[in-house]
Amino acid sequence: MSQYARVLVNLRDDEHRGELLQKLRRLGEHASQVELFSCLYSAGLASSHLFDADGRQHAIQAVLRKAEKGLMSHVDKLQQRGLTAGADVYWDRDQAEGIVRKVLRYQPDLVLHAPEHHANPLQRLLSAPDWRLLRQCPAPLLLSKKPHWNDRPIIAAAIDPFHLDDEAAALDHRLLAHAAGLAQQLDGELHVLHVFQTLPHSAIFDEHLVLDYEALQQRVRAEHHTRIDELIAPYGLSVQDPCVHLLEGELHQLVPQWAQDNQIDVLAMGSQARGFLDRMLLGSSAERLLDKVGCDLLVLKPDSFHCPVTEF
């Protein structure tokens, strides 16, 4: 049985609709239920003085009916393929929260969403809807950035076994399981990525360690290789395999080019909760890569994640 039996697709009336439906068709071959969703809002209509309260509500309902009719045309095609499919529309000024509320109601195994490109870093501070959806969505979130997947998609899991708590370690296991399952579901290839940093020379204060700096670096590298080997062994992989990649440096600097060079289709990453200041200045690794990578991002939360949005 597919790990993504219930799929929620956020379909906006924009240029991403075709690519989302194409990916859904490939995922939907193994899904038992699909819901197409659209969260709508018009500030002009909501504040228009041309309508009284009843007239404004009538106009809003007309907009929702038109959007639902458009979604139903795609639902009919999905049903012809043997899928149980439905459509839903929602009026919400806060698009991110509107989507999350739908997730809480529908309880999907996967949410498919196409983010907008945010070239201005200030948008992170201003909590653009895509950033907030990434932080708030309790279900696995597939952010569609690549127009088309390869015929045999390459699915990579970004892991880091050097954690101080068991929760983060458990998230690594979930990332590998989701990436491996998705690769199998799409008849693709599983890759593993680990990015780490060795100790900078300036951080070594012991004069004996300074003299043996290269040997110390080799021990650090060996420890990373050992930890990764232990983590990926259940999947029949080792660090010697060409599909296992260990990179030295900053993740947000190395991964975009690495993903392009290796034609990665989907990169699975974890998103850990942070305080407000950390989130404002740095953000999670997934947030820092959102506008830099050209591949899709599959973002998972730890089991203890508490959704800040209520259902109603």
Q: How far apart are CA 149 and CA 202, in angstroms?
A: 43
Burial class (CB in 10 A: 0-12, 13-18, 19+), 63: middle
Domains annotated for the chain, with CATH where assigned, are: 1-144 (3.40.50.620), 148-312 (3.40.50.12370)
Contacts of 175 by beta carbon, 8 Å cutoff, 6+ apart: 157, 158, 159, 268, 269, 270, 300
Map tokens 């999350």 to a residue: 100
- For the entire predicted model, the pTM comes to 0.88
Q: How far apart are CA 28 and CA 33, in angstroms?
A: 8
Q: What is the pLDDT of residues 222-251, one digit of tens each?
A: 888 999 999 999 999 999 999 999 999 888
- Supply angle C-alpha 228, 234, 236, rounded to 5: 85
User: pLDDT at position 15, please?
Assistant: 65
Q: Which helix (H) or strand (E) holds 86?
A: strand 84-91
Q: In this predicted model, which residue has the larger pLDDT, 13 or 278?
A: 13
Q: What is the pLDDT of residues 14-27, one digit of tens each?
A: 667 889 999 998 88
Q: What is the pLDDT of residues 32-66, one digit of tens each?
A: 799 999 999 988 887 776 777 788 888 899 999 99
